[in-house]
Structure 1
Amino acid sequence: MKANKKKNRISLSSIQDFFSEHDSVIKESFIALLICALGDLFAGILLGKMTFFLETFPGLLVIIPGAIGMRGNIFGSFASRISTNLHIGMISPKFELSEQLNNNILSSFVLTLILSLFLAIIAKIFCIIFHFESIALIDFILISVIAGIISTIIMLPVTMFISFKSFNHGWDPDNITTPLIAAIGDLFTLPAIVASLYVLNYLNTSLLIKEIFTLILTVFVISAFVYVFRMSSESKKIITQSTPVLLVSSILGVSAGGIFNSSIETLLTNPSLLTLMPLFSGESGSLVSILSARLSSGLHYGLIEPLRKPEGESLHNFMICYVLAIVMFPLIGFIAENSTNILGSAGVGYLNIILISLISGLILISVMIFVVYYISITSYNRDIDPDNIVIPISTSVTDAISSLILISVSLFILGALI
């Protein structure tokens, strides 16, 4: 009996030590995730208001998750590289333009252009394979590339501002930038797509002008890609390591869009689930991005050993992820249900939505922490910068499976309660 009491005291003491040691990390990440949730809520409400565009431009829904995910992947990796370079002194915290920073800026811009073009092609192929009614390929290209250019003009300066400001204020950019960048990406991608639809609508007045404009845009994208690829060894490294991963990520993003599209009836009959979708996907991706960035930085400056079995600092990062998940997933469930009620629609009930969000989130995070860890140590051991590949892969996998997990858990819980 005494031994059991001693073990309980040791266990309680260990928990208290853990929270004391990682208090600032949890607080910084929680604030960033909360802001991210607000951005994702706005995205969910905006998506619900895009019914007219979704009907007018069939197949648009397939490309939206991929476009949103791509912003987070590219600029999350951009922020992670800046964070790592700030930590190890490769970039000045005074925000001075340098070759290292310039290479990162141009590479991120070009990656957005080329991936936007690829995303449009994949979305059209996906629609053909699964017999979805859709707009023409040329329309997909114009929507995707124009939206990519618009969002990049916003995302580049915002990403740098957040990265440098957080570092200069003594906050760890790994805990701040990735969820905030994801939220801002979610916030501005949909308006950028809407803006591109207006441009497309204007160009539809003349098929010849639209075809010429698309050709010029495509040539510009390919030329910019080739130019930056040849510009320096650092740019070549970023593009070479990032492009294959981002191509796979785009395919996964389009797959998520297909899953979303095929489940639309279930979501429409339960409006709070529809509102929860971008919240759940965004928070899951942000949690995974925080873990990815922290593991990457830890590997770079020796706090984490790339071992087959995670231990030490890696396990601490896993625990931080779980703590944040236990707090955030019930919260976003509450936010989704409350927003649905305020907008005058019938929800599924606070208890149901909180259970759905929490259980789905814990299942997803339990899978993803090991996916992130082993991608991180594998890339590091093969001399591939984790900053270039871990966030794109992990967030895209998260996007692809989050819908399946959320819908499956929702059907199970709601079905069990009927």
Structure 2
Amino acid sequence: MPVIDREILAELKEKTKDSYRVTLPSLFTSQVFGLFGGTFLGKYFDLIRKQFPGLLVVLPGIMGLRGNVFGSMASRFSTMLYLGDLEPSLRDKKVLKEIVLRMLISLIPIFLLWAIGVATGIKKNAFDVLLIVVTSTILVSFILGYFTSFVTIFAFKRGTDPDSVAAPLVASMGDFLTVPSLVLFILLIERSPEGFRLFNYATIALFLIVAAVSRVRKADFMELKQVFITITGLALLSTISGSLLAKFSGEIQASVILSFIYPSLLSSFGNYGSIIAAKTSTKLHLGEIESFLCPKAFTDIVALFTTAPVIGTTKILIGGALMMLTTGTSIPGSVYWILITYPFMALFIMLYAYTLSYFLFQKNIDPDHVAIPLISNNSDIFGTLYVVLMAKLMVGG
């Protein structure tokens, strides 16, 4: 037993070094991207609340959807690369086909999210909101699809485990593109409604051309049927997050800093969960996890947990600096609530991710297809609940 303990401790030490050397930089880069998107959200939060409230209902779903769709694509590509089913090149025909399939998978849930928002009574500028989210989905999905492919393949060719870096970077790039694209479309509508609609038509035409070139067939879509059903169900579930965000938008705006770091908080929780899910999935496929309480599996969680205080602290510092630059508001003293609780919220997400991935695999359900989307979605719900709780604590609501 002492020998085993020494082996586990040695492995934990090595994984902790790897977490700081490889994963922490990707998490930090992810954080910077998320905070960039959060700056747009924080600056225009009041405008969105008053003129396009439907966007608040669909925003968590859109953010989560892109992380789900392309996070699972990164995990799928990682597994395919290790198994030799995908050439480590962007020129592989499977890359473009997969991107188009992910676009198709994304558009239907987006429409459903919008419809639910309208059905619940949020009808102000509803048609413009639909055009915004559809056009944004097509453009962002195209960019994010190639970014996902590049990051996964590049990491693999460099001898770095794609599971350690792809999920955080993909999710953060989604956040980096999502909120700014929505805000830019809002500003375009206000300046030139005709120009906005013309841009929409051109974007839809581009999508149809790319779909034709990729030669996606019904059989290809059916291969991802499980992914589509899962992601659509999760998108609908994300209306919980959207409803909470819309309902407590006043408290979140009152705290100021939470409206700036909201996208970054959600993406970081999703990142921690996705990394553990991806690592667990790969190990399960390779037969390296023999039981649920496998000590070697938990070393990944403990190693990543040590990075959470660093991420939480820098999130407040950078987010607060951006908030001060754009609004002139100083960081509130009550922000200590976030500093204290953030690492343990990340730990909860990681334990949840491991448990879910393990038991899905035991039920012959591929975690690459289901676990990462489910974890990312649930992280958004847990994260939004966390943000609401922090807002209540910070503003005394």
- When the two structures are superposed, what TM-score results if normalisation uses the length of structure 1? 0.81
Show structure 2 runs of 5+ residues with no match: none
Q: Is the 8 A contact 1:267 1:273 kept in 2?
A: yes
Displacement of 1:114 after TM fit? 4.1
Deviates more, 1:271-280 or 1:404-413: 404-413
Structure 1 residues 72-151: aligned runs within 5 Å: 72-93=67-88, 95=89, 97-98=91-92, 101-102=94-95, 105-129=96-120, 131-136=121-126, 138-151=127-140
Displacement of 1:116 after TM fit? 2.5
| One of 157, 170, 175 as aligned partner of 1:186 | 175
- Whichever residue aligns with residue 388 of structure 1, its letter is H
Q: Is the 8 A contact 2:140 2:177 kept in 1?
A: yes
Q: Distance in 2 between matches of 1:379 and 1:230?
A: 27
Q: Does 1:23 align with 2:17?
A: yes
| One of 363, 370, 373 as aligned partner of 2:345 | 363
| One of 237, 240, 251 as aligned partner of 1:255 | 240
Displacement of 1:333 after TM fit? 2.2
Q: Distance in 2 between matches of 1:408 and 1:59?
A: 22
Deviations 1:354-396 (A, max 9, x none): 4424414413531x23432232123323333211111111011
Q: Distance in 2 between matches of 1:17 and 1:125?
A: 48
Partner of 1:266: 251
Q: Distance in 2 between matches of 1:354 and 1:86?
A: 43
Over alpha carbons, which structure has the higher Rg?
A: 1
Q: Is the 8 A contact 1:256 1:399 kept in 2?
A: yes
* Shift in alpha-carbon separation, 1:213–1:151, aligned structure 2, 3 A: closer
- Whichever residue aligns with residue 389 of structure 2, its letter is S
| One of 275, 295, 299 as aligned partner of 1:290 | 275
- Whichever residue aligns with residue 156 of structure 1, its letter is G
| One of 373, 377, 390 as aligned partner of 1:396 | 377
* Shift in alpha-carbon separation, 1:175–1:121, aligned structure 2, 3 A: same
* Shift in alpha-carbon separation, 1:213–1:155, aligned structure 2, 3 A: closer
Q: Distance in 2 between matches of 1:16 and 1:295?
A: 19
Displacement of 1:156 after TM fit? 1.6
SS of aligned partner of 2:375 = helix
Percent of pairs with identical residues: 24
- Whichever residue aligns with residue 112 of structure 1, its letter is M
Deviations 1:152-211 (A, max 9, x none): 2211221111111111222111111110111111111223334555776799659xx99x
Q: Distance in 2 between matches of 1:325 and 1:152?
A: 29
Partner of 2:162: 173
Q: Distance in 1 between matches of 2:314 and 2:10?
A: 23
Q: Distance in 2 between matches of 1:413 and 1:345?
A: 15
Q: Does 1:236 align with 2:222?
A: yes
Partner of 1:62: 57
Deviates more, 1:337-346 or 1:277-286: 337-346
Q: Distance in 2 between matches of 1:285 and 1:96?
A: 26
Deviations 1:9-63 (A, max 9, x none): x999975762234422442110000001100110111112334455333312222
- When the two structures are superposed, what TM-score results if normalisation uses the length of structure 2? 0.85
User: What is the number of equivalent residue pairs in this alignment?
Assistant: 386
RMSD: 3.3
Q: Distance in 1 between matches of 2:282 and 2:357?
A: 10
Deviates more, 1:262-271 or 1:37-46: 262-271
* Shift in alpha-carbon separation, 1:175–1:374, aligned structure 2, 3 A: same
Partner of 1:156: 145
* Shift in alpha-carbon separation, 1:108–1:357, aligned structure 2, 3 A: farther
| One of 32, 38, 53 as aligned partner of 1:38 | 32
Q: Distance in 1 between matches of 2:228 and 2:81?
A: 24
Q: Distance in 2 between matches of 1:359 and 1:231?
A: 46
Partner of 1:4: none
Higher relative contact order (CA closer than 8 Å, sequence separation 6+):
2
Q: Is the 8 A contact 2:255 2:391 kept in 1?
A: no
| One of 311, 316, 319 as aligned partner of 2:294 | 311
Partner of 1:338: 321
- Whichever residue aligns with residue 338 of structure 1, its letter is A
Q: Distance in 2 between matches of 1:341 and 1:139?
A: 31
SS of aligned partner of 1:49 = helix
Displacement of 1:85 after TM fit? 1.4
SS of aligned partner of 2:307 = helix
- Whichever residue aligns with residue 353 of structure 1, its letter is V
Q: Is the 8 A contact 1:85 1:91 kept in 2?
A: yes
Displacement of 1:276 after TM fit? 2.4
Deviations 1:39-96 (A, max 9, x none): 0110111112334455333312222221122111111111111111122222233x16
Show structure 1 runs of 5+ residues with no match: 1-6
Q: Distance in 2 between matches of 1:361 and 1:193?
A: 30
Partner of 1:3: none
SS of aligned partner of 1:372 = helix
SS of aligned partner of 2:56 = helix
Q: Is the 8 A contact 2:70 2:102 kept in 1?
A: no
* Shift in alpha-carbon separation, 1:33–1:107, aligned structure 2, 3 A: same
* Shift in alpha-carbon separation, 1:204–1:327, aligned structure 2, 3 A: closer
Q: Is the 8 A contact 2:37 2:263 kept in 1?
A: yes
